[in-house]
Each structure stands twice: as structure tokens, then as C-alpha cells.
């Protein structure tokens, strides 16, 4: 609970921040809300030698609509997302993260860069097929799709010296949405989370559907079997229930104190059904 020694800087510009990270080498880490990084440091599971605090980079904060996308600055806090009902599933999910104190500090960029499969926003990025912009000190900039961002447990495409500078989430106007999160206590990490997005065709059938899981593998994953079972067919309770039975296909949930792998697979089926029902109704 007492972190090891580290140095700290709080640069005033993005370029300075990128330079500080580059100069700091492998063990320099950006600090956003600190609510994933600092606990790891206190447990001495992370021992960075330099923290580059991003808090002064006001330009990396904010929410804008651009064409069909939401452009969200990486330093935008969960609490800011939660208050924007027009963000749809993003707002709904942000409101379910931890407790208000954590939401007042934690940021979307930190959550996505961290790559914890138990975090909620990564599954939303996966389901919406969003993407992030990543920059480095050399002036390099690339766009990485959700499918390529999350690589393994706590491992993302964000390399040392790099920063997420923008998050883009398709607005998916006209889609129904729901995020189902199963926890013991309101403030807990998801045992299993399901993000469901549904687009109804004019005839009421399922034109398109996306389902992604929190905490069912070492990264957020898409429930492709569920999507296939539903896409193009009817969107009624029976069809949803039948599709949800495929929820555990391709998953590899980590067992923990509160849930065995089998129980998580069961939860995934139940929650997928509930999320789809809500999304189809909304």
C-alpha cells in the first residue's frame, strides 16, 4: 500500500508530455485519473520510475459530435460521460463503473490504454467498433480499431512512449442499446458485463446486432455466434433467448474468488439475453 520511489512531472503541452515519456524510457508511465495505475503501484505490482501526469493537457478533454462519430478526448472522465445521456450506451456504461469517487477521477483514455478485461468501457468500444488515435514523440500518429487495441490481459497496442490522444465512437443513431453488468456490490468490477447493440429493420427484424463481453476472456471479446444467430432474423423474445444460448462460445473466462468459469459462462448467457431484450425494446 506504499508505492516505491518514482519521479513526477506534469507537462503543460502534449508535445512536452510525449517528450517526457520518450526521455523517461520503458519505465515512464502516463498518469491520467490514476485509478488503475496508482492501486497497482501501491501494491508494488507496477513500479514506474517516472509518472508523466496528463492533467494539465486540457485539449485532451471533451466530447464532440463529428459526422457519425463521437470524438472524445482521452482525459474525459467517467463522470463527464455519465452525464451525457446523448452518448447512449457510453453514458449508460460509464454510470455503472465503480462508485462516484472513482468516476470523478477515472478517464476513458486510461481505461482503454490499461486493457483490463474486467473494465467496462473496452467492451463498449469493441461493440461500437470504435477506434483510438495513438501518438508518439517522433510525430507518429496512427488509428487503431478496437479489435486491434486490446491484445491480452493488461496489454494494449499502446506502446511505451505513446499516448492515446483521441477516442472515436460511432454514434450508431437509431440503434437500441444496453449494458448489463453483473456484480456483487454496486461498486464492484463486473463478474461479467454484456454490451448489446441492436438495429431493427423497418419490418421489425434484426438488421444488425453487436454483442461484446467484459471479463469473459483476457480481452474484451465479441460474441460473434450470438450476433450471427440473430442477424437477419426475427427480433422477438424466443429468437433472442435462442441466440443468447450461444453466448459462451469462444469465451475463455478467468475464474476468480466470486465466479468459476462455468458460472461466468452461465451468467454470460443470462445477461446476453437480458441485454438483448433491453436493447431490442429501447
Ligand X SMILES: Cc1cc2nc3c(=O)[nH]c(=O)nc-3n(C[C@H](O)[C@H](O)[C@H](O)COP(=O)(O)OP(=O)(O)OC[C@H]3O[C@@H](n4cnc5c(N)ncnc54)[C@H](O)[C@@H]3O)c2cc1C
- Report if residue 208 touches other proteins, rule: CB under 8 A: no
- Which residue from 208, 221, 215, 219 is spatially nearest to 276, judged by alpha carbons? 208
Give the Å distances, CA to CA, from 70 to 89, 96, 109, 142, 271. 12, 20, 14, 18, 27
CB of 185 to other proteins, least distance (A): 5
Question: Of residues 99, 148, 152, 252, which one binds other proteins by CB under 8 A?
Answer: 99
Question: Of residues 158, 191, 268, 276, which one binds ligand X by CB under 6 A?
Answer: 158
Q: Which does 1 bind (CB under 5 to 8 A by kind): other proteins, ligand X, none?
A: other proteins
Neighbours of 37 (CB within 10 A): 20
Binding mask 254-273 for other proteins (x = CB under 8 A): ---xxxx--x--xx--x---
Q: Is 74 helix (H, G, I), strand (E, B) or coil?
A: coil
CB of 45 to other proteins, least distance (A): 12
- Report if residue 234 touches ligand X, rule: CB under 6 A: no
Distance CA 143, CA 235 (A): 34
Neighbours of 236 (CB within 10 A): 14
Binding mask 17-56 for other proteins (x = CB under 8 A): --------------------------xx------------
Q: Is 135 helix (H, G, I), strand (E, B) or coil?
A: strand
Q: Which does 2 bind (CB under 5 to 8 A by kind): other proteins, ligand X, none?
A: other proteins
- Which residue from 193, 144, 153, 201 is spatially nearest to 176, judged by alpha carbons? 201
Question: Of residues 24, 30, 130, 176, which one binds ligand X by CB under 6 A?
Answer: 30
Give residues with Cβ within 8 angstroms of 164, minimum separation 6: 74, 109, 112, 113, 132, 133, 134, 158
CA 163 distance to own-chain centroid = 16
Task: Specify the stretch interacting with ligand X by CB under 6 A; choose among 115-123, 241-249, 262-270, 274-282.
Answer: 115-123
Binding mask 85-114 for ligand X (x = CB under 6 A): ------------xx---x--xxx-xxx-xx
For residues 246 and 223, is the Cβ–Cβ distance under 8 A?
yes
Give the cell for residue 96: 455503472
Identity of the residue, 163 or 271, whose beta carbon is nearer to other proteins in the bound complex: 271
Which residues of this protein are in contact with ligand X, per CB under 6 A? 29-37, 39, 74, 78, 97-98, 102, 105-107, 109-111, 113-114, 119-121, 158, 163-164, 189
Which residues form the interface with other proteins (CB under 8 A)? Answer: 1-5, 43-44, 99, 182, 184-189, 191, 257-260, 263, 266-267, 270
Amino acid at each position: 500500500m506504499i508505492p516505491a520511489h518514482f519521479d513526477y512531472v506534469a507537462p503543460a503541452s502534449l508535445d512536452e508530455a510525449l517528450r517526457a515519456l520518450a526521455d523517461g524510457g520503458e519505465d515512464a508511465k502516463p498518469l491520467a485519473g490514476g485509478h488503475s495505475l496508482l492501486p497497482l503501484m501501491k501494491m508494488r505490482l507496477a513500479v514506474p520510475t517516472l509518472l508523466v501526469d496528463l492533467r494539465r493537457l486540457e485539449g485532451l478533454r471533451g466530447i464532440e459530435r463529428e459526422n457519425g462519430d463521437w470524438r472524445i478526448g482521452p482525459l474525459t472522465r467517467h463522470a463527464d460521460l455519465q452525464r451525457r445521456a446523448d452518448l447512449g450506451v457510453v453514458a449508460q456504461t460509464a454510470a455503472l463503473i465503480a462508485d462516484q469517487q472513482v468516476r470523478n477521477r477515472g478517464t476513458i483514455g486510461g481505461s482503454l490504454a490499461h486493457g483490463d478485461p474486467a473494465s467496462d468501457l473496452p467492451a463498449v468500444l469493441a461493440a461500437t467498433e470504435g477506434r483510438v488515435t495513438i501518438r508518439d514523440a517522433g510525430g507518429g500518429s496512427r488509428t487503431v480499431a478496437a479489435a486491434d487495441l486490446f491484445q491480452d490481459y493488461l496489454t494494449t497496442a499502446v506502446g511505451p512512449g505513446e499516448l492515446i490522444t483521441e477516442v472515436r465512437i460511432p454514434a450508431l443513431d437509431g440503434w437500441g442499446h444496453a449494458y448489463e453488468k453483473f456484480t456483487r456490490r454496486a461498486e464492484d468490477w463486473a463478474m461479467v458485463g454484456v454490451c448489446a447493440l441492436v438495429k431493427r429493420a423497418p419490418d421489425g427484424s434484426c438488421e444488425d446486432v453487436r454483442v461484446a463481453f467484459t471479463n469473459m476472456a483476457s480481452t474484451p471479446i465479441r460474441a460473434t455466434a450470438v450476433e450471427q444467430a440473430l442477424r437477419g432474423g426475427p427480433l422477438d423474445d424466443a429468437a433472442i433467448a435462442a441466440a443468447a444460448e450461444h453466448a459462451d462460445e469462444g469465451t475463455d473466462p478467468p475464474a476468480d474468488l466470486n465466479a468459476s468459469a462455468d458460472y461466468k459462462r452461465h451468467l454470460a448467457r443470462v445477461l446476453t439475453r437480458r441485454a438483448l431484450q433491453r436493447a431490442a425494446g429501447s
